[in-house]
Amino acid sequence: VRHTAPRVYRDMTSAWSAPAVMVSRVASRVSRVCVAKSRVPPTFGVPPSRRLRNTCRHVISWHPSHYPRASHTQTNAVEGTSSSSGDRSSGDTSVPAVFPETTSPSPSVDTASEAEDLDDDNEPVLSEAAQKANREVDAYVKTSSEQSTELCKPTAPNQYLPRRSGQFTLPNPPEPVRFPRTKLNLKLAVLLLRSGYETIDAMDILPMDQFQIKFWKSRQAEWEPYKFQYAPLTIEQGALEDPLYFDFISYVQFNVVSREIPKSASVFEERSGAEGTVKVIRRDPALSDNAILPAILAQRLGDTIYARLRYGFEDTEFHAPAPAVLSNKSDATAVEEDFELVKNGLTNLTKAMVRKGYGLRSDVSVVETDFSKKKQKLKIAVAGAANLWGAQALAAKGVSPTNEYLGFVLTAYCRATGVGSYYVTRASDVSTEIEFTVLLS
């Protein structure tokens, strides 16, 4: 597949009819490889027509991308706010040219032999609990996305993007992570990467066929230098559980979108399907200003990840805390109790991610509390975070947003609880520290 896929991609971008059949065969074989390696791809919000394409997603050697088209969660979130000449909606089953729909073979093809190549397994059925979680996530993301422009103003109570730490120069590029980090839970890794991809797609920042091409080129350009700095260690492509690989692939995703945001267009053409069908996509007019896109991307991504951690993701429970119920009283005792409730919630949310391999360990401590201003400053430290190298590499390039998953999620929790917040992130060779400030109303 490593050698075949680039040629398949070039063929698919033409108007030929043969590649559709060839891709069906290749996708079927890739599917069997995935199953043999116990890497059956997730099916959250994935309609049956996209099953083979998404099966290829976990085989990173499949070029140019291993990401799926946005699922119904993110599409529903912007339903009614984004339009296109093709009336793209939550039920849209079109796919990018990179992963065309499986088509029936032409009459000239031996249908008997082709049937042997096609994967005819039944679509996995989500449990009742997983379907309920889907609906709750959909509702939460849709509601928060409708408020994005208000939530991301500079004067908004919750700031999803980290504040600058006072430095007037960009930090130096990071050194390689020289110590072993814990293995990520595959569901958490997929949750983070898929949420990022779906958010980018739902916001209509750029054509997703172009995003996949740029993603693939960026990954190819930076993969060899990245591997070289860890030699003689071997990093397996596609092993999302390996923090070395997850750190890299998450970095590439944010590096591409952050560089595309400043020059993105509100109206563009997007190609999809085996025949390269062209649609004209018009971004929500409320998001026409590119300057607000980094903050909105951080907000929507943070709310999506928090919702999935809270309600569940593909039959996996993360036991993330629900928003705290505060008294909102002014006396000192009540304020102290409210601060304790928020601190406990932030602690449990951080631990929920660390338990699934986001870091080696975590610690949350109080730095200072100002009862007169109802403000408390916390220090949240995560040793061996899964994005330890990538977040520093993005910061060194001066792009925004960076892959501050934990900062986004903690901010989403505070917003859901009804308290204001902002934070500053600092990283060392071994840990990530977030100076998180909570403001009671």
Inter-residue contact 129 to 45 (CB < 8 Å): no
Q: What are phi and psi of 26, to 5 degrees?
A: -60, -45
Q: What does the pLDDT profile of the chain (441 residues) look like in tens digits?
A: 344 344 444 444 443 434 444 444 444 444 444 434 444 444 444 444 444 444 344 433 333 333 434 444 454 444 444 444 444 443 343 333 333 333 333 443 343 333 333 344 455 578 898 899 989 999 999 999 999 999 999 999 999 999 987 666 677 889 999 899 999 999 999 999 999 999 999 999 999 999 999 999 999 999 999 999 998 888 999 999 999 999 999 999 999 999 999 999 999 999 988 788 899 999 999 999 999 999 999 999 999 999 999 999 999 999 999 999 999 888 889 999 999 999 999 999 999 999 999 999 999 999 999 999 999 999 999 999 999 999 999 999 999 999 999 999 999 999 999 999 999 999 999 999 999 999 998
Alpha carbon dihedral 168, 169, 173, 177, in 10-degree steps, equals: -20
**pTM for the structure as a whole:** 0.75
Say how far apart CA 161 and CA 379 lie, in whole Å.
Answer: 17
Instruction: Write the single-letter amino acid at 269.
Output: E
Contacting residues for 228 by C-beta, under 8 A, at least 6 apart: none
Say how far apart CA 248 and CA 212 lie, in whole Å.
Answer: 16
Say how far apart CA 226 and CA 31 lie, in whole Å.
Answer: 28
